[in-house]
Every structure is written in C-alpha cells, then in structure tokens.
Structure 1
Amino acid sequence: CSPPPPPPCSPPRCCCGRRRSRLLAYGLVALGAGSALLLRFVPMPYGRYSSPRFGCPLPARPAWALQELPSLLVPLALAACGAAAGRWPNRLLLGGFVLHYLHRALIFPFLIRQGKPTPFFTFLLALLFCVYNGYLQGRSLSNYAEYPSGWLKDPCFIAGELRWLVGMAINIHSDHILRNLRKPGETGYKIPRGGMFEYVSGANFFGEILEWFGFALACCTIESLAFALCTLFILGSRAKQHHQWYLEKFEDYPKDRKILIPFVY
C-alpha cells in the first residue's frame, strides 16, 4: 500500500536532496528514541514539571506560539518554490500538516487560560524541533514525494486521512477538557473526565499520535513515518509520566484507566 518508487533522479542534485531527506528522517527517529530514553529519568520540564533550573521562565502564550510557528511557516515557504507542491496529493497532504500547526501556533496559545511559564530550555528545544520537522515534511512533500494519478482514491490515502481527521478531533477535544477542568478562580489539579479521558490518561497524546500515523499512512513516505514514530516515542513517554503522577496525586484516580492506548496500554 505505497506509491510506486520515484523515477531515477535527474539532475544528480535531486538524488543528493532525496538522500539528505532520508538521512534527516532517520535522525528524527533517533532523536525521538533518545528523548524517550531520557524522559524515563528526567520529566519533560514543562507545565507541572517546570523548574527554574531549565532556564528563565517565558510567558506561556507567546512562547508556545513562537515555538510552533516554524512548522507552519517553513513548509509554506518550501511549497512556494517546490517542484511537486502544485500536484493535488502533495497539496492536500501538505495542507493537512499546515492546518494542524495553524491551530497549534495561532489558535491554541490564545485559548490557554492560565498557562504556567515555559522554561527557556524547553522553549528552545521545541523551537528547534519544529524547524527540523517543518523543513523535513515540507521539503519531502513539496519536492520529492511523487504519487500516481489515482492516489486520492487509494485506500491508503483515504484511510490515512480519516485517521488524521479523527486524531486531530480527539486532540482538540481533549485539550478543551483539560483547559476547562478548573472554574474561574480555582487552583490546583483535577482528574480529567469525559471523551477519551474515560479510557486513557494521555487522551490528548493519543489523539496526536493517531493523527500523525494517519498522516504517515496517507503520505507513504519515510519522512512522515519518521515523524509519527518520533511523536509516539516522545508523547508515549510523557503519557506514562502523567499517568504515574495522577496515580500518586489522586487516591480515587480510576484504576482501570490505561496510559495511552484504550483497553491495551
């Protein structure tokens, strides 16, 4: 369930570009795996795990918007001059990636009510990741990914797009639940309930992982699969940390609630 291999490279510069893109994809997987290993010992310094030792605190809203912005702007810049960006499969796939980060960079930050300050080190890591991955996905879909004429009707594309859509909806709905746990004037943490939180502690993470694996299925590229795996490694580790924190924090936390995958894990 994958598009046919691209034709031989011409000119040679194109071959070098494709090889470099694949190497960057392998590097992204290694980055995700390394981060997951590190997160087993050091919680991600963000939100409830923030600490002054990870740099000066930055206001939550502008920090979030700025760190996510490269994943929106870099692909758009690459699409403006990409040889494959005018083809409909490439347009729709790149459009889905851009739509996600349009929400994350320009809408989500302004929905945050009382976000905790973001340590500079955390902000810098997120910014670099968005530059890296924004370039990787944008370059792949605007220059190298080639699809047959009937790709938009292919079962892989349709199934992948549906999973992407469902995953994005779960992610947005779960974030909505988290934002509205506390009433105005309330402080402290509460157990999230409703939606996918009835099944897993990391409902927002589950939605985003499902979203990017759907994206990878629709794209059928090494670069998109690398992003999905990296997301799984990092968000899976964060979901486990959250789950353990909830169990330690709340005696009445639902014992049958899984970590990340409903009914499984």
Structure 2
Amino acid sequence: MDALLSRLFSSEEEELYILDCMAYSMVFMAACTFVTLLFENVPYGRYATSKYGFPVNVKFAWFVQEMPAFLVPLCLVVWTSSAKTSLLPNQLLIAMYFCHYVQRSLIYPFLIRGGKSTPFISFALAFVFCIYNGYMQIRYLSHYAEYPADWVTHPCFITGSVLWLVGWLVNVHSDHILRNLRKPRETGYKIPKGGMFEYVSGANFLGEITEWAGFALAGHSVHSSAFAIFTTVVLASRAVAHHKWYLAKFEDYPKTRKALIPFLF
C-alpha cells in the first residue's frame, strides 16, 4: 500500500495538499447537491425511478456500496506506515469512524426487511463516494492529523465525542424501529413511532447528522467538517421529503411532529 501511494504522490506534502483539496471539493459538491435537491429527491427507496438506471437488490446495494468505506480505511491502517495511529486522539477518532461503518456495511444490510431496489446510478455514486471519503478521512487521521497532547480533555473533543455517541445510538435505534414497523407478511407503509420518531419524521437522519457533526467537532479538521456538511445536506433533504410524504400519505400523521429538528423544523 505504501508503494502504491508513493507512486501516486511525490511527497507527503503533496498528498496532504490533495487531501485538503478533496475536502474543499466535497464542500463544493455539497453546495451543488443542495441546489440539485431543491428540485429532485435523492433517488432511492420510495423515490426510486427507472430513469436512474436498472434496479439493484437493496441488500446487495447497501452491502457493496458501503463496503469501500470500511475496506479502504482498513487497508490504510493495516498496510501503510500509519504514523499517527499510536496517538490517542487519532485512535479514538478512527474508532468512531470504524464503529459507524462496521455497523453500516457488515451488519445493517443483512437486517434490512423488504425495501425497494436501488437504481444503479445511485448505487454507483454511493460506491464512489465511500471510496473517496474513506480514503480522505482515514488517511488524514492515520498519517497527518496532529493534536495537542491534552486534546482528549479539550471541550471540543469531549462535546464532539458525546454528540457522536448520542447520534450513533439514535441512528441505530431509529433504524431498528423502521425495520420493525411491519409484522411478518405485512406490506405497505406505516407511521413510525417511538424514540426520536415521536419528535421528528427523520429520526434516523437526525441521528446520523448529529453523529458526523460530533465527529467533525472532535476531529477539528476541514476533512471531517466537509463530510459533516455533505451528510447534512443530503440527509436534511431526505428528512424534509419524508415529512412531506408522511403528511400527504396519512391523515392521522402527528401534526406536532417536525421534519428534522425537534420543535423547530
């Protein structure tokens, strides 16, 4: 792996410059995505259409598209000279990242019950994004990120870590609620209840947004911040679309429930 990276980059300074450019490019992609999503829903799940390519089985799609977000970082940590992985702040941030993607790539796909197929274009874009982001996050944390010796006791790290944990728990719990909405052999959509779904329609999205916002605060880098911004743009749009859909679909949908932020939005 080191040999491959040394062929791609002439020096560590060049690679770090590329990592920074990748982060700023992700922020630009987030801006473009924000504009696009004003006119079009993210094309998967209930919003999937044939114009985005042939359908891919939902379990297969989630497993394959998320796997690079786990495997690329794993290779970077195991098979490269990971200069910073002996440092506690870097270890904890890397552990946060892996905790999410072990669950998302190795557990979540196999728990899916039913679910609509994913259009190929959505599947392919997600696959590429996971390679891109997995490399950017973990290469920076394992090889370049430098933090003060007392960073793990800094308010930013502590607050960010708590937010990450709360967000991860909300995300996992909300996915559990969604999986268990239907009894065996039941079909159709139901109103999700329990947990943060009592307050917002996009409880699972709120959890993941909170998770990566906490990661960005704890990581204190343009790379983690870019990922948090991109995640917020995509999932906030998804939450708003779901909220509108629920209101139109169910006459008895709770009128006090918000789209994404409890009591506010």
In the alignment, structure 1 residue 85 sits paired with structure 2 residue 73: no
Q: What displacement does 1:86 show?
A: 2.3
Structure 1 position 13, deviation (Å): 2.4
Unmatched segments (≥5 aa) in structure 1: 1-11
Amino acid at match of 1:220: H
Please say if 1:15 is aligned against 2:13: yes
Gaps of 5+ in 2: 1-9
1:201-220 map, 5 Å: 201-220=201-220
Aligned to 1:61: 59
Residue aligning to 2:150: 150
Pairing 1:122-137 to 2, within 5 Å after superposition: 122-137=122-137
Maintained 8 Å contact 1:209/1:231: yes
Deviation (angstroms), 1:33:
2.0
Equivalent residues in 2 for 1:144-223 (5 A)? Answer: 144-223=144-223
Counterpart residue number, 2:138: 138
Partner of 1:33: 31
AA in 2 matched with 1:107: I
Q: Give the CA deviation at 1:194.
A: 0.9
C-alpha distance in structure 1 between counterparts of 2:237 and 2:31, whole Å: 10
Q: In the alignment, is residue 230 of structure 1 matched against residue 191 of structure 2?
A: no
SS at match of 2:190: coil
Tell me how far apart the structure 1 counterparts of residues 16 and 126 of structure 2 sit (CA, whole Å): 25
| Distance (Å, rounded) in 2 between the aligned partners of 1:170 and 1:60 | 22
Structure 1: how far apart are the matches of 2:249 and 2:56?
27
Aligned Cα root-mean-square deviation (Å):
1.2
State how far apart, in whole Å, the 1-side matches of 2:38 and 2:249 are: 19
Give the alignment's TM-score, normalised by structure 2. Answer: 0.93
Do the aligned partners of 1:206 and 1:261 also contact (CA within 8 Å) in 2?
yes
Report the TM-score, using the length of structure 1 for normalisation. Answer: 0.93
Residue identity (%) = 55
CA shift digits 1:4-62 (9 cap, x unpaired)? xxxxxxxx923222221111101111112211221221211111111122111111112
Q: Which residue of 2 aligns with 1:239?
A: 239
Query: Structure 1 CA distance, aligned partners of 2:83 and 2:208?
Result: 29
Match of 1:74? 72
Hey, what's the Cα distance between the residues in 2 that align with 1:184 and 1:254?
Answer: 25
Q: Distance in 1 between matches of 2:130 and 2:193?
A: 30
SS class of match (1:69) = helix
SS of structure 2 residue aligned to 1:196? helix
**Distance (Å, rounded) in 2 between the aligned partners of 1:190 and 1:22:** 44
1:33–1:234 Cα contact (<8 Å) kept: no
CA distance in 2, matches of 1:106, 1:20: 30
Counterpart residue number, 1:6: none
Distance between the aligned counterparts of 1:208 and 1:38, measured in 2?
21
Instruction: Give the SS at the match of 2:188.
Output: coil
Question: 1:28–1:227: 8 Å Cα contact kept in structure 2?
Answer: yes
Amino acid corresponding to residue 254 of structure 2 in structure 1: P
Q: Does the 8 Å contact 1:57/1:118 carry over to 2?
A: yes
C-alpha distance in structure 2 between counterparts of 1:259 and 1:107, whole Å: 27
What letter is aligned with 1:144?
Y
